[in-house]
Amino acid sequence: MSQGNLKVLFVAAEVAPFSMMGGLGQVGYFLPRGLLKKGVDVRIFTPRYAKIDPVKFPLKMVVEGLRVPTGEPPGTNNPTELICNIKSFGETKKGEPTVYFLENQEYYEQRANVYGYSDDHIRFGLLSRGALEFIKNDGFVPDLVHCNDWHTGYLINFLEQESKESRINKIARLMSVHNLYQGNFDFAHCSEMDYDDGKSPLASFYTEQFYKQNALKRGVIYADAVNTVSETYAREIMTDEYGKGMHNLFRELRGKLFGVLNGLDYREFNPQTDKIIKANYSLNSLDKRAENKKDLQRQFGLDEDPDVPILSFWGRIDTQKGVTLMQETMHFLLSEFDAQLVMVGPIDDQFRDYFLQLEKDFPGRVGTHFLYNPILPRKVSAGGDIVLLPSKYEPGGIVALEAMRYGCVPVVRATGGLADSVTDYNPAKNIGTGFTFKKFTRESFIVAVVRALETYKDKDAWNKIVRRAMQQDFSWGKVAEKYLDLYQRAVEFRKEALLPNPPTAFRQITT
């Protein structure tokens, strides 16, 4: 099958610009557009939430009154089916992927948020079953469904349960794991009675059993191919430390497990044209970064000094991002080195007092903003010198890509996507785009930061690192090429799985 004939249904709980909450929403926006440019007929399927503005995004009715089975037997108090509509936005033929929205008043349109409800398992079970019913009713019959995270693992399980139907059986299934969150139920600490081996049929939406069925696990089991958002993370999740209770399953199915690093929109994140930053610049005008540094120092009340290195952090200020290492070391680093620190992002309460006190202890040298702000990170990346990313684990690591694009040199723990995107500086070989460390310890973190601060004093060496970082290519066009190859693999795996005597690996996968 040529890529020009390949039809893909991309199913996700969030898709920018309609409902972006994080990295998944970005992938839902950029990847389908990159695939369209490669000739793939890709469509998107997602819920229609209350926040989607019908004036800004006028929708067209595609299917009215779609009956979606709930799995509930007749004669009970709960409905045996839910009535939904499917509307569309965009037109694939015009270069924009068609987005299909599943409408349901109770579970989507009357909800203010995308996530965070006690019945999320029902809401996303409905999304998955609605996508299947849409396919079965000739709405759009893909060659492959691309499912994302636990919310859509149900769809892959539903496809397996309906596999006696030849048309359904031929649809290849890719499961993308952006993170290992598995829903509201605590699968990691459940009793043996509640353990889900993934082989029983999916229960009715309204039962306790459905609540305790692990959609991510089932998606992984019944997918033809599985990928994480970096190659290193694909290896890490096969270990007890990173696997969130699923490491043995990933080990068992490693033959169909791949890693594809997420990309960055190089048109949106472009220091030459960015209207958010004070001064535009390029590789040929790096001296103009100094204007952004002065602007950043003024905005955060820091001493205006072009020669003092600015350490920075933007994103969620929490344990997963390795902020405990910063908490244990920043007072020492700022006491021993002439440096400044800027912290931007929503903060866990356990860290708030520490960084507020740090700001008082080092006036004119520490600046903070502890609320979500989509604009400030761009200013920090354009004006800061070093970004600190000491994550405990990091499936993708988009912040490192943003930082390098703007010439802000990353100091990262070599885990997940950070390991795949940042190469360690080696002065002898004159290579590297940042500074990396391996062990999650304050000593390892301090060594990496000190290496960066000492190298910063050598302007010639530092500018070479900045240039190499800015020259990296993590564009979505390259990412789309890798996903296209993964799609073709999944399609071939599906064909092999349907053979009368499939290879052992495929018998194992579809058990």
DSSP per-residue string spanning 23-66: HHHHHHHHHHHHHHHTT-EEEEEEE--TTS-TTTS--EEEEEEE
- Per-residue pLDDT, 191: 87
C-alpha 74, offset from chain centre:
40
Determine the average pLDDT of the residues in 125-137.
96
Cα(496)–Cα(498) distance, rounded to whole angstroms? Answer: 5
Indicate whether 469 pLDDT > 50.
Answer: yes
Centroid of chain to Cα 288: 32
Average of per-residue pLDDT across 468-478: 95
Assign domain 283-470 one CATH number from 3.40.50.2000, 3.40.50.2300, 3.60.15.10, 1.20.1440.230. Answer: 3.40.50.2000
**Single-letter amino acid, residue 402:** E
pLDDT of residue 242: 94
Q: How confident is the model at residue 508 (pLDDT cuts 50, 70, 90)?
A: very low
Mean pLDDT of 112-130: 95
Work out the pLDDT band at 189, boundaries 50, 70, 90. Answer: confident
d(CA 484, CA 496): 19
- pLDDT at 509 > cutoff 70: no
For the ranges 77-86, 133-142, 220-229, 293-302, the lowest mean pLDDT is seen at 133-142
Residue 491 in contact with residue 172, Cβ under 8 Å? yes
Does the structure show a pLDDT above 50 at 268? yes
- Average pLDDT rounded to a whole number, residues 398-426: 97
> What would the two tokens of residue 115 be?
């996530």
Asked if domains 7-263 and 283-470 share a fold, the reply is: yes
Is 511 a residue whose pLDDT tops 50?
Answer: no
Give CA–CA dist 24/229, Å, rounded.
Answer: 10
Q: What are the tokens at 46?
A: 């997602």
Mean pLDDT, the chain, rounded, equals 94
Please give the pLDDT value at position 292: 98
pLDDT per position as a tens digit, 326-360: 999 999 999 999 999 999 999 999 999 999 999 99
267 φ, ψ to 5°? -80, -45
What pLDDT digit, counting tens, does each position of 387-411 carry? Answer: 999 999 999 999 999 999 999 999 9
Tell me the pLDDT tens digit for each residue of 353-395. Answer: 999 999 999 999 999 999 989 899 999 999 999 999 999 999 9
How much is the average pLDDT of 7-11? 97
Which contiguous run of DSSP H or E holds residue 89?
Answer: strand 81-89
pLDDT above 60: residue 504: no
Q: Is CATH 3.40.50.2000 the classification given to domain 7-263? A: yes
pLDDT tens, residue by residue, 431-461: 999 999 999 999 999 999 999 999 999 999 9
The residue with tokens 């496809």 is: 159
pLDDT surpassing 70 at residue 168: yes
pTM: 0.92
Quote the pLDDT of residue 92.
Answer: 65
pLDDT in tens, 150-161: 999 999 999 999
Is residue 293's pLDDT more than 90?
yes
What letters, b where the CB count within 10 A reaches 16 and e where it falls short, cover 219-251?
bbbbbbbbbbbbbbbbbbbbeeebbbbbbebbe
What is the rounded CA–CA span in Å between residue 60 and residue 167? 27
Cα dihedral 395/396/397/400 (nearest 10): 140
Tokens for 236?
């890490």
The full set of domain ranges for the chain reads 7-263, 283-470
